[in-house]
Structure 1
């Protein structure tokens, strides 16, 4: 008797690595072009503001985008989850491109003063508040869960490449044609991302198509989440009431189900259908309820809640010393601008090496524990940086800081991506972005004032302690400490 082996269906096809997936690579190219355009934009905005107004006025123009970004970030997460991250990213890049090119054209024909620059900063900040949560929620709809750590590494490499190429390109554009040429170059780079994003296909979130390759514990966890989602949908459809009344009538597991999860679980759509996972208008509740449910989801999640606290403490202890603190340290030690540049290069090299490692390996075991230890070791290196006796030692220390901070940051980002239900990723990314981009920068003026009063050594040590507390939180939270990246 002849036995014919069954054909391997697409459902059981081997997982395609993200760095070989053309769909992911198109998204990565678009993201890199957009980030390079951002780098050129900030150089153009800085140059135009300094040449047009006083130093204080230029500072206000440069800070204009931070206000709407911080105020609207949480709302941007709701928009990303409600309308689909791919659609939001495309719209955001189109608006940014149009705004930058409009200012470039205005600067070519006239000298309008500071008002268009301030308006552009406000527009950019408002759009960033929507763009950042959407770009964080998109990878989960492009590839399988097991590839999300690799995507984090690829994204880190893209950010490093955009910074390295964007800064000199912006300077060259300013040297050739002034701020107008630099704004035009920024707009064209952002424009490159739009057609690429249009060709990117999204899949049903959380559907890898390989149920037979899921670990038993993970399969049980998914089944439990699916049961909660189904029950939440039945309760919601039977009696559409406010979140408070629904929470009172539901059980503990029911209350933990995030908004939008039931809709995403019940809708089955082709993997290559654009924004196939977007809820219909009839299925959407109020934006306030979506935001409230997203915050409640984070607060009750055994991994995400301590992870957010660890990220916040790490950023608060890291941003000040590695920005304003390093500049003051180089001036105090007489290293000069070149010495500070070498120290920053050491940091960038370390962070880039970690991104490359994740890109090639795709997964590191014991992610939660490794992230906690990396935060603790990185905090010690941050404190030691203030006591480096020479530029060479400072560069080596900065290289170590970059390796450890890059490792902890990449693993925290990968855990955030894999632990969050895809239907909530926009809101979760918004909260993380608000901590990193809204609260952490507040430490810079505080660090500068403290260094002026007590010197670099004590301030760097205090910053290291704050950063190290993030590692302590990660180690003390059992579920976060034991968290693993999917295979």
Structure 2
């Protein structure tokens, strides 16, 4: 498979932050992500009102299973059909589904079955939507701008997480879950015309599928997995991402709640710690968005992972909220930087014709397997306390740094200029 690809004149000659084409995509992506955050808040609120806490938990988790089961196939679909059309179709289906449930809630009381069905639809669409989202930037701009685009995308995710929850809460306060769902649907709908206006480059005819579309879908999937396994940078990079997420998700989600409860910090204290983490992660995304490229990418990934692992282990032993918030800023900065750099290398190292499948494998690890560490972390904290579990989690994160440092080609990898 080749990496030298033709593109429409002028499409790739401008820096990403000055390229109207990229900015339209970024606006569409941001609107869709804010809508996602509003949707998840509305779903959890409506599920709690309609059933027991256990039933609400099942409804909110209903999207995870189809997403995990279908993600790899979604990568094949994104590579076969092209990421732009898949993203447009995905946002359209998500919009229609959310607005449909909003209308249903306006005329009838909340029920668990419509909410569960909506969650399943979202998870199924996400299995195709997420790989396509990952494959789209490489078709809009040059390889030298992909790192900056990754930083811009990470900033959009941070913005959506900060803005989405208050918007969802406002919707619930004004008109209940139906209004919040309606707001989510409108935000997702806003992304569709913006995506339609985005131009992408086409792959050359001899490389238009990268193995996808010339055989059966199963063989395309196997070819994509083989491509990752044989790639000297992508194979250790995916393993690095997997180990980092496994060690990070548990302590920085459920584990932090249990730590705040154990130390008597309360919800306000936990909020300060989360704000510190978000501030650090946002600063890391902004750094790459502004600079566009950082030297010695492979080495920087390994060293920031090592330093971030130490900070994660230390979080369980700090004396108070102020110190914990300070450590959280450091964790956010270091893990955010390593995460954005991993994403940028993934974008620039993978052949564009295979990027949907590469993104699918990476997303499956992050969204399918890593969340499994949360109940395990909770059980372990109940048995041994927060300190030992945070240290073990930090060691798992550190192991991902060992992989990055030990793989010669990943260690020497650079982002393109």
TM-score by length of 2: 0.96
Contact 2:210 2:354 (C-alpha < 8 Å) held by counterparts? no
Contact 2:12 2:140 (C-alpha < 8 Å) held by counterparts? no
Match 1:175 to one of 173, 176, 189? 173
Q: Which residue of the partner structure matches residue 43 of structure 1?
A: 41
- The SS at the match of 1:365 is coil
- The SS at the match of 1:73 is helix
How far off its partner does 1:265 sit? 5.8
How far off its partner does 1:99 sit? 0.2
1:403 corresponds to 2:333: yes
1:70-469 mapped onto 2 (5 Å cutoff): 70-111=68-109, 113-205=111-203, 264=204, 266=206, 284-469=214-399
How far off its partner does 1:113 sit? 1.5
Give the greater-gyration-radius structure (CA): 1
How far off its partner does 1:15 sit? 3.2
Question: Residues 423 and 173 (structure 1 numbering): CA distance in 2 closer, same or farther, change over 3 Å?
Answer: same
**CA distance in 1: counterparts of 2:30 and 2:298, whole angstroms:** 28
Contact 1:386 1:457 (C-alpha < 8 Å) held by counterparts? yes
TM-score by length of 1: 0.82
Contact 1:83 1:279 (C-alpha < 8 Å) held by counterparts? no
1:52-63 mapped onto 2 (5 Å cutoff): 52-63=50-61
- Structure 2 gaps, min length 5: 1-7
Runs of 4+ in 1 over 4 A off after TM superposition: 10-14, 277-281
Contact 1:45 1:117 (C-alpha < 8 Å) held by counterparts? yes
How far off its partner does 1:82 sit? 0.2
Match 2:32 to one of 31, 34, 39? 34
Contact 2:211 2:223 (C-alpha < 8 Å) held by counterparts? no
**CA distance in 1: counterparts of 2:408 and 2:9, whole angstroms:** 35
How far off its partner does 1:111 sit? 1.7
Question: Residues 13 and 139 (structure 1 numbering): CA distance in 2 closer, same or farther, change over 3 Å?
Answer: closer
**CA distance in 1: counterparts of 2:387 and 2:205, whole angstroms:** 53
Q: Which residue of the partner structure matches residue 212 of structure 1?
A: none
**CA distance in 2: counterparts of 1:12 and 1:189, whole angstroms:** 30
**CA distance in 1: counterparts of 2:205 and 2:244, whole angstroms:** 34
Deviations 1:20-66 (Å, cap 9, x if unpaired)?
Answer: 00000000000000000000000100000000101111010001000
Deviations 1:427-461 (Å, cap 9, x if unpaired)?
Answer: 00000000000000000000000000000000000
- Higher RCO (Cα < 8 Å, 6 or more apart): 2
Aligned alpha-carbon RMSD (Å): 1.6
**CA distance in 1: counterparts of 2:30 and 2:9, whole angstroms:** 31
**CA distance in 2: counterparts of 1:280 and 1:446, whole angstroms:** 39
- Structure 1 gaps, min length 5: 1-9, 206-263, 268-276
How far off its partner does 1:163 sit? 1.0
Question: Residues 111 and 296 (structure 1 numbering): CA distance in 2 closer, same or farther, change over 3 Å?
Answer: same
Q: Which residue of the partner structure matches residue 479 of structure 1?
A: 409
**CA distance in 2: counterparts of 1:366 and 1:65, whole angstroms:** 38
- The SS at the match of 1:111 is coil
**CA distance in 2: counterparts of 1:407 and 1:477, whole angstroms:** 19
